């Protein structure tokens, strides 16, 4: 494919994975019909034995994936909305994340859990959650959150091939919004690496998912004002690419961390701590976080949703303040 949306990049990757390995299979709610976002559309017809509908029971979906992976299969579980994954939290926390550790590396668990996450689609409180901080807290699970189609494609391949459990987060706002020329596009192929998407000298913006897209747009606005920003796409949230983060911050001397999860307990706090611990002497200003306010859930009304979510204008304002410090 020449130009692809995020959905097209994911679908083609899943198609190729099922074709290449008969052990691979997709399971989830309504995946045979394509799923609620039509990501798996057409895959049941091409791979009838490898695309399986399940009941509406996330704990069972994840539990079946754990058992299948233990017995040598390559399950790719779909959670219809990331908001629903908490029903399977105990399976991920108490079983999947500890599998390799408790067997001293004698047994691996090659499974992927795909989950559409994030706001910006007027989904309200039950269809807009940012769940990444909960699961990035589990050392035995890798957490991936790309932004561009080429990275979705390459990192989904890497996730399926990985012997560890991987939570693969797909920002639903990017599904059809973000398109990319795939031929020659930069793409990270290894889990655990970040990428400097834009080089700058004045400050570093660290982001992922939709906020990476918004941060790049803010950086272009700021460039016209004479503020030159580096933008780092974290890509993998567990494990973080600490060296790339620190190298960029040491170069610019200022760091702005952006995520749409709530501020308190969000991933930005961990990143800020890493910078303070390992790059303090290079800082020319306090580390700044821009995140959603600490309210229980995404509001339904579009104006309140806009208030809740960081965007390019809010990022640009925060970066201006940081640059002027």
> What is the C-alpha separation between 159 and 41, in angstroms, rounded?
21
> What is the C-alpha separation between 152 and 163, in angstroms, rounded?
19
Instruction: Report whether pLDDT(78) > 80.
Output: yes
Q: Do domains 3-181 and 195-323 have the same CATH topology?
A: yes
Instruction: Report whether pLDDT(160) > 90.
Output: yes
Instruction: Report whether pLDDT(103) > 90.
Output: no
Instruction: Return the closest-CA partner of residue 297 out of 115, 83, 87, 100.
Output: 83
Exposure class string for 296-316: b at 16+ Cβ within 10 A, else e? eebbeeeeebeebbbbbebbb
Q: Helix (H) and strand (E) counts for the chain?
A: 13, 14
Instruction: Report whether pLDDT(252) > 70.
Output: yes
Q: What is the pLDDT of residue 1?
A: 64
Catalytic residue among 47, 70, 122, 127: 127
pLDDT digits (tens, 9 = 90+) for 161-207: 999 999 999 999 999 999 999 998 889 999 999 999 999 999 999 99
Query: What value does the mean pLDDT take over residues 20-33?
Result: 97
Instruction: Report whether pLDDT(105) > 90.
Output: no
Instruction: Report whether pLDDT(133) > 80.
Output: yes
Domain extents in the chain? 3-181, 195-323
> What is the C-alpha separation between 202 and 249, in angstroms, rounded?
10
CATH assignment, 195-323: 3.40.50.920
> What is the C-alpha separation between 283 and 303, in angstroms, rounded?
36
Q: What is the pLDDT of residue 77?
A: 98
Fold of 3-181: Rossmann fold (3.40.50)
Contact between residue 82 and residue 168 where contact means Cβ atoms under 8 Å apart: no
Q: Global pTM?
A: 0.96
| Catalytic annotation present for 47 | no
């Amino acid at each position: 494919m020449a130009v692809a949306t995020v959905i097209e990049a994911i679908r083609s990757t899943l198609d190729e994975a099922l074709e290449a390995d008969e052990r691979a299979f997709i399971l989830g709610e309504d995946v045979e019909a394509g799923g609620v976002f039509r990501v798996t559309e057409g895959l049941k017809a091409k791979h009838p034995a490898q695309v399986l509908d399940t009941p509406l029971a996330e704990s069972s979906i994840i539990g079946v994936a754990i058992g299948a992976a233990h017995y040598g299969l390559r399950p790719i579980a779909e959670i219809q909305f990331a908001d629903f994954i908490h029903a399977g939290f105990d399976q991920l926390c108490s079983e999947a994340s500890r599998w390799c550790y408790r067997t001293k590396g004698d047994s691996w668990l090659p499974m992927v859990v795909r989950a559409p996450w994030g706001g910006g689609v007027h989904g309200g409180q039950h269809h807009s959650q940012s769940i990444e901080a909960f699961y990035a807290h589990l050392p035995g699970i890798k957490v991936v959150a790309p932004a561009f189609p080429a990275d979705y494609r390459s990192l989904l391949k890497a996730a399926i091939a990985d012997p560890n459990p991987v939570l693969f987060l797909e920002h639903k706002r990017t599904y059809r919004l973000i398109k990319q020329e795939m031929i020659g596009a930069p793409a990270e192929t290894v889990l655990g690496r970040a990428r400097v998407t834009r080089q700058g000298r004045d400050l570093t913006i660290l982001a992922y998912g939709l906020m990476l897209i918004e941060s790049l747009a803010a950086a272009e606005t700021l460039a016209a004002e004479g503020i030159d920003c580096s933008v780092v796409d974290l890509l993998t949230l567990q494990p973080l690419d600490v060296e790339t983060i620190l190298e960029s911050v040491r170069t610019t001397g200022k760091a702005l961390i952006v995520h749409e999860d709530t501020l308190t307990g969000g991933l930005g706090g961990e990143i800020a701590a890493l910078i303070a611990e390992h790059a303090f002497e290079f800082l020319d200003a306090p580390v700044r976080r821009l995140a959603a306010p600490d309210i229980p859930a995404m509001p339904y009304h579009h104006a309140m949703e806009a208030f809740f979510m960081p965007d390019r204008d809010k990022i640009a304002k925060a970066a201006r303040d940081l640059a002027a410090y």
